[in-house]
Amino acid sequence: MAGRDAHPEFPVGPFYVKECRLMGFVVFKAPRHEQRAAAIAMNEWLAAGKLQVPIGATFPLEQTADAHRLQEDNTLHGKDTLRGKIVVTIGD
């Protein structure tokens, strides 16, 4: 959901009403085989359109410092200027 120091809001109410569930893992504690299985599953969900990733900002590789600054501003400093993931692109 976010970095170690982030405190994202989590809409608990809709989860109860819609009988949803949230699954995840801590990358730093999961064994390699579990990380691999999770990556394969996520790629399959993406390919099938079952997983939508919100993109909040896109930067070319040359502006990686700006991307990092945006992440820090929102994760550490609470600027609230980012909704979604940050993508850094290589080439066209």
Domain boundaries, the chain: 1-52, 53-92
Q: C-alpha distances in angstroms, 10 versus 2, 13, 18, 44?
A: 12, 9, 14, 25
Query: Average pLDDT in the 21-35 region?
Result: 78
Whether pTM exceeds 0.85: no
Query: Average pLDDT in the 5-23 region?
Result: 76
Residue 34 pLDDT > 60: yes
Query: Average pLDDT in the 47-59 region?
Result: 91
Residue 24 pLDDT > 70: no
